[in-house]
A and B are shown apart, each in its own frame.
Chain A
Amino acid sequence: MPAVPLYRLAHARSGDKGNRLNIAVVCRDERLYEPLREHLTEDFVAAVFRERRPSAVRRYELPKLRAFNFVLDDVLDGGVNGSLGLDGHGKTLSFLLLSASIALPAGLLGANEPPQPQPMPGEPR
Chain B
Amino acid sequence: MAQQVWIGAAAGFAGDRADASGPLIEALARHDGPRFLIFETLAERTLALAQLDRLADPSRGEVPALKRLLMPALAPCAAAGIKIIGNFGGANPRGAAAKIRQWGRELGCPELKIAIVEGDDLRGKLTAAEFARLESDGDMLRNEPEIVAANAYLGADAIAEALARGADVVVTGRIADPALVLGPLKHSFGWADDDWDRLAAGVLAGHLLECGSQVTGGYFADPGVKDVPGMDALGYPLAEVEPDGSFVVTKPAGTGGLVDRRTVTEQILYEIHDPAAYLTPDVVLDLSEVEIAEIGPDRVSVKGARGRSRPDTLKATICIDGGLLAEAEISYAGPNAAGRAGLAIETVTKRMARQHPELQIRSDLIGSVSVFGDSAGSMLTAATPASGGTDLRVRFAAETTDRAAAECLLDEVEALYCAGPAGGGGVRKRLTPRLRSTSCLIARDLVSPQISMLEAQ
Contact = CB atoms under 8 A, between A and B. Distances in A.
Nearest to B372: A96
B137 to A, nearest CB: 5
A117 B391 CA distance: 22
A82 B362 contact: no
Interface in B350-407: 360, 362, 364, 366, 370-376, 378-379, 388, 391, 395, 397-399
A87 B226 CA distance: 23
Interface residues of B, number: 59
Contact of B226 (A11, A51, A60, A122): A11
A12 B272 CA distance: 13
Among B273, B370, B438, the most chain A Cβ lie within 10 Å of the Cβ of: B273
Given A18-B138, A62-B287, A86-B364, A81 B379 contact: no
Nearest to B288: A62
B375 A84 contact: yes
Nearest to B374: A51
Contacts of B288: 62, 64
Contacts of B220: 13
B190 interface: no
A79 B43 CA distance: 13
A13 B322 contact: no
Contacts of A82: 322, 399, 434, 436
Interface in A1-44: 7, 11-13, 15-20, 22, 24, 26
A49 B222 CA distance: 23
Contact of B271 (A17, A51, A66): A17
Among B138, B275, B391, the most chain A Cβ lie within 10 Å of the Cβ of: B275
A67 interface: yes
B51 interface: no
A122 B388 CA distance: 12
B393 to A, nearest CB: 11
A6 to B, nearest CB: 13
A84 B288 CA distance: 36
B224 interface: yes
B318 to A, nearest CB: 11
Contacts of A78: 436
B269 interface: yes
Contact of B378 (A16, A51, A65): A51
Contacts of A86: 364, 366, 370-371, 395
A104 B261 CA distance: 25
A81 B222 contact: no
Contacts of B304: 64
Given A18-B438, A93-B372, A117-B225, A81 B269 contact: no
A84 B398 contact: yes
Contact of A15 (B45, B223, B270): B270
B269 A24 contact: yes
B399 A84 contact: yes
Contacts of A91: 219
Nearest to A79: B437
Interface in A82-125: 82-87, 91-93, 96, 114-115, 117-118, 122, 124
B195 interface: no
A85 B375 CA distance: 7
Given A18-B439, A81-B437, A69 B275 contact: yes
Nearest to B304: A64
A66 B269 CA distance: 12
A24 B287 CA distance: 13
B269 A69 contact: yes
Nearest to B214: A13
B268 interface: yes
B372 to A, nearest CB: 5
B26 interface: no
Interface string A48-87: 0001110000001010111101010000011111111111
Given A18-B137, A19-B138, A26 B266 contact: yes
Nearest to B322: A81
A51 B224 CA distance: 30
Contact of B225 (A19, A80, A93, A115): A115
Nearest to A19: B138
A17 B273 CA distance: 9
B193 interface: no
Interface of A: 7, 11-13, 15-20, 22, 24, 26, 51-53, 60, 62, 64-67, 69, 71, 77-87, 91-93, 96, 114-115, 117-118, 122, 124
Given A11-B262, A84-B397, 8 more contacts: A17-B271, A22-B271, A22-B272, A51-B373, A51-B378, A64-B288, A65-B265, A81-B322
7 contacts: A13-B267, A13-B269, A18-B439, A26-B265, A65-B268, A82-B399, A86-B371
Interface of B: 44-45, 137-138, 219-220, 222-226, 262, 265-276, 287-292, 304, 319, 322, 325, 360, 362, 364, 366, 370-376, 378-379, 388, 391, 395, 397-399, 434-439
